[in-house]
Amino acid sequence: GTLSGSKADLDAYVKCMLGDATDELADDPARRRAVESFRNTSGDFFRMIGVEELVFANASDFKWSSAGDDIGDRESLFPDLNVKIVKEIISTGGVFTSIKTQDTSVGYLSPTEWHQEMKSLLKKNHEGGSSDGVETILIDVRNHKECQVGAFLP
């Protein structure tokens, strides 16, 4: 990811991610409390999902750049940036333009409903298939990090 802020705030973040920030921030109680709160909260999160806490090995894991104060009004920080407004991110030739946004949530399940549905499908499968003639195929399209956070019922 990319961060932006004052040099002092970014230094505090890097020290926090290195796991050694609190001693070096003794002169700045507000930043020290913020770093301690972040470390405690993120530690609780990682324990909850059962993944080892993310701490970087050394400061060289971070890349730095600065816009500086010498950027003129007519100079661009991103000279090759090109922004376009398009109707579709992935072109389908307009096939899906007739679908209303409110129609895309039809069939949405809450997490509790999802688990109940999965249990029901597993039960039907163990009993020799579906009696209602409807087959369900589940395609898991989560990325690696999302899969680490949780798994579907076996």
The DSSP string of 7-38 is HHHHHHHHHHHTT-HHHHTTT-HHHHHHHHHH
Q: How many CB atoms lie within 10 A of CB 25?
A: 21
Q: Which two tokens stand for residue 59?
A: 């400061």
Residue range 73-98: mean pLDDT, rounded: 71
Kindly tell me if the per-residue pLDDT of 70 is higher than 80: no
Q: Which two tokens stand for residue 95?
A: 């096939």
Cβ partners under 8 Å of residue 109, min gap 6: 117
Higher pLDDT, 105 or 6: 6
Beta carbons of 20 and 13 less than 8 angstroms apart = no
Kindly tell me if the per-residue pLDDT of 72 is higher than 60: no
Q: Which two tokens stand for residue 99?
A: 């679908």
* Helix boundaries (H) for 25-150: 29-49, 111-126, 144-149
pLDDT tens sequence across 14-67: 878 887 666 667 788 888 888 888 888 888 888 888 888 877 888 888 888 776
Taking the C-alpha atoms of residue 4 and residue 25, their distance in angstroms, rounded to an integer, is 20
pLDDT tens sequence across 92-115: 777 777 777 676 666 677 778 888
Output the CA–CA distances (angstroms, integers) from residue 51 to 36, 48, 91, 152, in the order listed. Answer: 20, 8, 38, 17
Whole-model pTM above 0.85?
A: no
Residue range 108-125: mean pLDDT, rounded: 80
Model confidence at 73, in pLDDT bands (50, 70, 90)?
low
User: Residue 81 has what pLDDT?
Assistant: 75
- Degrees to nearest 5, angle at CA 130 with 128 and 135: 125
User: Residue 131 has what pLDDT?
Assistant: 60
Which residue's structure tokens are 């069939």? 107
Residue range 76-96: mean pLDDT, rounded: 73
